[in-house]
């Protein structure tokens, strides 16, 4: 019997090639790989997967407790799996089971600090901590010195990563025996912490069990740090059993999920991350002339962006990279050398071009793929079927799509993306649609590996995306949890809008019922005003998308009625900040009311202003047949409030402008004159001007009377008064568009010239007597 322990660097291209060659030479009967043993049944799916992929372990019912073990094409473990499955050799995982690692207390010294840290300590390089702990929370008894750093320093290197690449990755023939000896020397006297001790004890337990089953030649692929713990005289079986006795345990489920190269740079599973997965993939795929091939590909990337890069640039950059490697004593130019060469020659010092190479090539945009035969929850499988049907391929890089909702395919795409957002899977982020039509949407798509975990988390809600999203909406509304009191009115109105956007008619009755109950109990008019715009949009979406929303119009009318009743009280006694905040709600409600149809209400009394009968100030658009439109009801309320004397200047000015634009005021100049009279405090007058002109400055351009009133009030202020109101005026006029400010200035200049001309137009005959009198007073004779 023979056991060969191959110490590797996780995600090391040189180690991956060396492991494959060593396995072909050893021809083992069994292969043991560092990883959770619950995944043994998933090994057979590996040939049908497209890396990067990851093993996902999670606790049913508690998806937040999860861990990932990622694999790339250049991962030594992945190459060992492919070799074993192709040769018909049993491949088993030998690390501590996920059932134990996920059960550890996250707040204790022995538990994982994040979902990706449960893999624990591992080999050198690739982002491991200096003590080999593989992430934060390593516990006690750890080595205080980075083992690879110590070896690199002994070899005269100041960069442990560069030393490992030169000695191992760039050689092409990883010296496994030398690595084992080096790790044994570094670990001499090292006492592992509790987590590391348990993991290595379980590795030895698995190794003993494999030997006991009669396998004569066993190959173990693990992080180089663990090699000394698996070779030489092993501790007694009783000692390892004592370490593993009584470990906490949970039920863990595992599956394969797609991964991305961008996520390989983070801590996960093995506790090893790499910052340049695209570069390592290149080294693995191009073992001959890798520098030349890399820089030629970089030139192609720059050419695709319209940059002029010739073959001469490539030749000179290769020479520079080789020269830098020679000067630094490296056997092969590494990423640092090729990046410096690309910056100096290909990019000509342009940092943006270097960043493009970094994003496209050094990290890469590769997204893995798992086959249909891979174990999935029904929700994942349904999403995959819909992605295929709707021709929406998940990709790692951002991709922007424009949807025309009049087309059935685009409408279905929109429904799917909105449903996924309800499930917390933000594959698509909505953006500002191009054009003004309500039938257009713009989305930015980017798939992230953790979205699979989100689908698993909500798998209990339904077997399809539409069923799970509907159940999720009902639960959020409180219908399935009994926690409706904890949901705000704004949340419920937003949820109604999401249900309509996602086309979930089966969820709408429950959500609307919760909304109606919440709106009936909420006495804060600002809450109602904040909620109404979303409700009106939801009503409108139900029309343009063909989504039935029975009962929504009744709730909208009821909320508007209560707003009209409560607003006169809400505008009383406001300071500057409160007035500005309320004004935002007033503008939002006014814009929302404009989207409602003008069909008169059939139920309920007309809500009139508090201080005057409706027949006095009712807008001309009010019907005489016993009902009023939403717009009329709203304008009646604003008209009644605008006549009050206790309003904040900002509120009064804005209401005056709204009523003027709605055609409900015949002489706005009279109101402005009163607001700017000498009896008013200048600060209040300035606030009135700010509110009145908040809709834009064109009104002053086209109405000379209003412009003259503002100009006369402003020029009549004293120096101190002008200084006090200047910030408000600057904020008001600074919000105007540049053409509006220019037109106002031209109007004022023209008015000044006209006034000067009038002053010069004097009747000399009538003025002669007055001139003679003045001259006699001052003692001068008339000429």
User: Is the model's pTM score more than 0.75?
Assistant: no
Whole-angstrom distance, CA of residue 81 vs CA of residue 637: 74
Could you tell me the pLDDT band of residue 248, with boundaries at 50, 70 and 90? very high
Whole-angstrom distance, CA of residue 389 vs CA of residue 385: 6
User: For the segment 432-450, what is each residue's pLDDT rounded down to a tens digit?
Assistant: 766 555 678 899 999 888 8
Whole-angstrom distance, CA of residue 355 vs CA of residue 606: 64
Under 8 Å between Cβ of 70 and 388 = no
pLDDT of residue 622: 43
Whole-angstrom distance, CA of residue 511 vs CA of residue 164: 59
Higher pLDDT, 756 or 367: 367
Mean pLDDT of the chain: 79
Under 8 Å between Cβ of 46 and 255 = no
CA 370 to chain centre: 25
Could you tell me the pLDDT band of residue 372, with boundaries at 50, 70 and 90? confident
pLDDT of residue 619: 43
pLDDT of residue 40: 94
Could you tell me the pLDDT band of residue 562, with boundaries at 50, 70 and 90? confident
Average pLDDT over residues 219-244: 91
Average pLDDT over residues 490-504: 84
Ranges 99-103, 327-331, 437-441, 562-566: which has the least confidence: 437-441
Beta-carbon neighbour count of residue 481 at 10 Å? Answer: 12
pLDDT of residue 243: 92
CA 660 to chain centre: 42
Could you tell me the pLDDT band of residue 24, with boundaries at 50, 70 and 90? very high
Could you tell me the pLDDT band of residue 172, with boundaries at 50, 70 and 90? low
Lookup: tokens for 498: 């999401």
pLDDT of residue 613: 36
- The segment with the largest mean pLDDT, out of 490-504, 540-554, 732-746, is 490-504
pLDDT at 158 exceeding the cut of 70: yes
pLDDT of residue 230: 92
Helices (H), 372-463: 378-390, 408-422, 450-457
Beta-carbon neighbour count of residue 628 at 10 Å? Answer: 25
pLDDT of residue 256: 92
User: For the segment 294-345, what is each residue's pLDDT rounded down to a tens digit?
Assistant: 999 999 999 998 899 999 999 999 999 999 999 988 888 888 899 999 999 9
Helix, strand or coil, per DSSP, at residue 32: strand
Helix, strand or coil, per DSSP, at residue 528: helix
pLDDT at 711 exceeding the cut of 60: yes
Average pLDDT over residues 475-497: 70
pLDDT of residue 88: 94
Could you tell me the pLDDT band of residue 150, with boundaries at 50, 70 and 90? confident
User: For the segment 751-768, what is each residue's pLDDT rounded down to a tens digit?
Assistant: 655 555 455 556 677 778
Domain ranges of the chain: 2-278, 288-363, 378-459, 667-783
pLDDT of residue 83: 96
Parallel, antiparallel, or unpaired for β 30-33 and 217-223?
A: parallel
Average pLDDT over residues 694-701: 70
pLDDT at 525 exceeding the cut of 90: no
pLDDT at 77 exceeding the cut of 70: yes
Lookup: tokens for 640: 């009644």
CA 359 to chain centre: 19
Higher pLDDT, 180 or 130: 180
Backbone Cα Rg of the chain: 38
Whole-angstrom distance, CA of residue 639 vs CA of residue 607: 12
Could you tell me the pLDDT band of residue 136, with boundaries at 50, 70 and 90? very low
């Amino acid at each position: 019997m023979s056991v060969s322990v191959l110490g590797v660097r996780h995600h090391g291209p040189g180690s991956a090639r060396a492991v494959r060659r060593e396995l072909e030479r050893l021809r083992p009967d069994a292969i043991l790989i560092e990883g959770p043993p619950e995944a043994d049944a998933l090994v057979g799916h590996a040939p049908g997967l497209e890396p990067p992929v990851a093993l996902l372990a999670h606790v049913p019912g508690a998806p937040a407790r999860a861990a990932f073990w990622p694999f790339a094409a250049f991962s030594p473990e992945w190459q060992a799996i492919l070799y074993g499955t192709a040769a018909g050799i049993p491949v088993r995982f030998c690390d501590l089971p996920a059932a134990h690692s996920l059960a550890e207390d996250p707040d204790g010294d022995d538990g994982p600090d994040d979902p990706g840290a449960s893999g624990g300590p591992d080999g050198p390089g690739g982002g491991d901590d200096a003590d080999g702990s593989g992430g934060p929370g390593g516990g006690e008894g750890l080595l205080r010195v980075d083992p690879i750093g110590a070896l690199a320093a002994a070899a005269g290197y100041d960069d442990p990563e560069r030393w490992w690449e030169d000695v191992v990755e760039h050689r092409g023939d990883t010296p496994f025996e030398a690595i084992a000896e080096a790790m044994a020397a570094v670990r001499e006297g090292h006492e592992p912490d509790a987590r590391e001790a348990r993991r290595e004890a379980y590795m030895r337990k698995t190794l003993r069990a494999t030997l006991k089953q009669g396998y004569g030649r066993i190959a173990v692929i693990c992080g180089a740090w663990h090699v000394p713990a698996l070779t030489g005289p092993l501790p007694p079986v009783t000692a390892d059993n004592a370490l593993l006795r009584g470990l906490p345990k949970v039920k863990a489920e595992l599956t394969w999920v797609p991964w991305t190269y961008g996520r390989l740079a983070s801590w996960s599973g093995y506790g090893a991350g790499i910052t340049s997965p695209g570069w390592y993939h290149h080294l693995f795929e191009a073992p001959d002339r890798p520098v030349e091939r890399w820089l030629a590909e970089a030139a192609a990337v720059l050419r695709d962006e319209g940059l002029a890069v010739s073959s001469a640039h490539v030749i000179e950059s290769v020479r520079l990279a080789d020269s830098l490697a020679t000067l630094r004593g490296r056997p092969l130019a590494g990423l640092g050398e090729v990046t410096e060469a690309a910056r100096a020659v290909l990019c000509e010092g342009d940092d943006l071009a270097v960043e493009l190479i970094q994003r496209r090539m050094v990290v890469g945009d590769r997204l893995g793929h798992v086959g249909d035969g891979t174990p999935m929850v029904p929700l994942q499988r349904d999403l995959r079927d819909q992605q295929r049907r709707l021709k929406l391929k998940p990709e790692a890089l951002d991709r922007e799509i424009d949807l025309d909702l009049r087309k059935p395919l685009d409408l279905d795409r929109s429904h799917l993306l909105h449903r996924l957002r309800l499930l917390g899977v933000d594959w698509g982020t909505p953006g500002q649609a191009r054009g003004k039509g309500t039938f257009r949407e713009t989305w930015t798509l980017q798939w992230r590996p953790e979205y699979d975990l989100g689908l698993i988390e909500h798998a209990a809600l339904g077997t399809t995306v539409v069923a799970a999203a509907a159940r999720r909406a009902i639960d959020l509304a409180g219908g399935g949890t009994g926690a409706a009191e904890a949901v705000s009115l704004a949340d419920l109105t937003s949820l109604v809008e999401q249900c309509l956007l996602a086309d979930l008619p089966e969820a709408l009755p429950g959500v609307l019922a919760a909304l109606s109950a919440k709106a009936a109990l909420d006495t804060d008019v600002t809450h109602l005003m904040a909620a109404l715009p979303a409700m009106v949009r939801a009503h409108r979406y139900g029309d343009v998308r063909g989504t039935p929303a029975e009962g929504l119009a009744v709730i909208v009318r009821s909320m508007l009625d209560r707003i009209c009743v409560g607003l006169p009280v809400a505008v009383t006694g406001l300071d500057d900040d409160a007035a500005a905040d309320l004004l935002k709600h007033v503008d939002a409600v006014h814009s929302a009311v404009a989207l409602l149809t003008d069909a008169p209400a059939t139920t309920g009394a007309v809500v009139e202003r508090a201080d005057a009968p409706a027949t006095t100030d009712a807008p001309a658009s009010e019907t005489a047949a016993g009902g009023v439109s939403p717009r009329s009801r709203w304008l009646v309320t604003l008209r009644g409030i605008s006549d009050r004397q206790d309003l904040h200047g900002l509120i009064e000015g804005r209401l005056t402008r709204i009523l003027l634009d709605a055609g409900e005021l015949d002489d706005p100049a009279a109101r402005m004159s009163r607001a700017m009279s000498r009896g008013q405090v200048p600060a209040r007058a300035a606030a009135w001007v700010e509110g009145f002109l908040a809709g834009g400055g064109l009104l002053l351009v086209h109405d000379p009377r209003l412009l003259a009133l503002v100009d006369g009030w402003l020029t009549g202020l004293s120096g101190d008064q002008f200084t006090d109101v200047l910030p408000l005026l600057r904020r008001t006029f600074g919000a105007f568009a540049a053409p509006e400010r220019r037109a106002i200035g031209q109007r004022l200049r023209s008015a000044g010239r006209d006034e000067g001309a009038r002053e010069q137009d004097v009747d000399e005959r009538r003025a002669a007597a007055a001139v003679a009198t003045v001259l006699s007073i001052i003692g001068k004779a008339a000429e």
